[in-house]
Structure 1
């Protein structure tokens, strides 16, 4: 049966697995705590953390739990069908994430590759958009993010906003891209100044700025090819 007397909410707020996940991140939690979040409640005689610990001991850890059936999980006192389904669904999500094919990610080997990745999206924009591509060590695109919209100048392009995402995504390098609504991709003085500033910041952080590409109407200019990166 599934009890409801000792719930996560009954613990001191700053010590619950949920609170720790929000403040410290999911990676800081033990397997027992992560399971406790899924289970939500314990039994009349034990807390949810005690229940999650007993579940792990029964299956000798995650190795056997990942292959458990719903019948095997519900045979544990305190775990009914709803809790078992939640556990199995979470295990399957983890399994699918583990099977993701990272080789399917877009790989950038040249300025042309980077321009092609965003050309259709950016060539007709009526305002300037500054976009950063975050790459792994194989130059595959991990993430693309618009950093700001508006005329490019050194006072509003904050390196901290660009590199904050790079650190969060564990990026090895980045490529900066912005468009010129006029269709003329010729770099301005501000474009060059911003590029140099970002390159210097990247060197300090150990995150290389591979290029800064300006998108025009079906054309582009690489500031790396121009010698500014």
Structure 2
């Protein structure tokens, strides 16, 4: 799962023959055997994806098919967030293979959530970023997330609260406060995505953050950060010095 999240560059295969079956490749170059011998970190994105695909199509090995898919979608995150309709338009791909990929990606997201439920989010900032990026970074429309935290800043729930168009999402602070009280949250981290690709906050984003911080203070709930993500970038209000927090 760590390798699925690493987004390593595709490594083109130069040995074994482009069209020769994987079973005829040297043992150390076959993806499953390579994983067994050297660990998942040693495999390229295409090789890891080929393990899920299991088999290729006529004239293409599973690795070649995986390379074609990564080339079509442009990146591993974009492929992992593809819809069934998008992926089944690709030669050799059907609902079954799409489901396998989606199941693997969901396991990665659930693993991140599990880790943050047992450790302080503030003590695991990289995992928190990975979770937010995995949840909404690649989406073509705006989504607003709330990470509800307990008194030890452990994750209670990662909640999708609002969803909007490509350009904007209607966000209501009163609803955020209500949901936090329902979950007995001690603190929140909120996040939303910018499908346009620029993760920098707008004037409305800054105003919303201040309004939400004030509203939460009335019910003794801290707002620890507001994060904005795009396909490849991450912005933190706290790190940028836009908002002050009381970690206690």
Q: TM-score, normalised by structure 1?
A: 0.51
CA distance in 2, matches of 1:160, 1:106: 28
CA distance in 2, matches of 1:114, 1:102: 9
Deviation at 1:104, TM superposition (A): 5.3
* Long gaps (5+) in structure 2: 1-113, 244-248
When residues 137 and 124 of structure 1 are mapped into structure 2, their CA distance, relative to the original with a 3 A threshold, is same
1:60-115: CA deviations, max 9, x gaps?
A: xxxxxxxxxxxxxxxxxxxxxxxxxxxxxxxxxxxxxxxxx998535311654422
When residues 177 and 102 of structure 1 are mapped into structure 2, their CA distance, relative to the original with a 3 A threshold, is closer
Deviation at 1:158, TM superposition (A): 1.2
Give the equivalent residue in structure 1 for 2:193: 179
Give the equivalent residue in structure 2 for 1:145: 159
Give the equivalent residue in structure 2 for 1:12: none
1:180-202: CA deviations, max 9, x gaps?
A: 00221111111111111111111
* Long gaps (5+) in structure 1: 1-100
Provide the aligned length of Structure 1 versus Structure 2: 127
Deviation at 1:134, TM superposition (A): 0.2
Give the equivalent residue in structure 2 for 1:208: 222
Does residue 168 of structure 2 align to residue 168 of structure 1? Answer: no
Contact 1:107 1:141 in 2 (8 A): yes
What does residue range 1-229 of structure 1 map to in structure 2 within 5 Å?
105=118, 107-109=120-122, 111-150=125-164, 151-152=167-168, 156-229=170-243
CA distance in 1, matches of 2:145, 2:188: 10
Contact 1:135 1:174 in 2 (8 A): yes
The higher radius of gyration belongs to 1
When residues 152 and 225 of structure 1 are mapped into structure 2, their CA distance, relative to the original with a 3 A threshold, is farther
Deviation at 1:123, TM superposition (A): 1.4
Contact 2:116 2:128 in 1 (8 A): no
Q: What RMSD over aligned residues (CA atoms) do the two structures have, in Å?
A: 2.2
Instruction: Extract structure 1 runs of 4+ deviating beyond 2 A.
Output: 101-107, 110-114
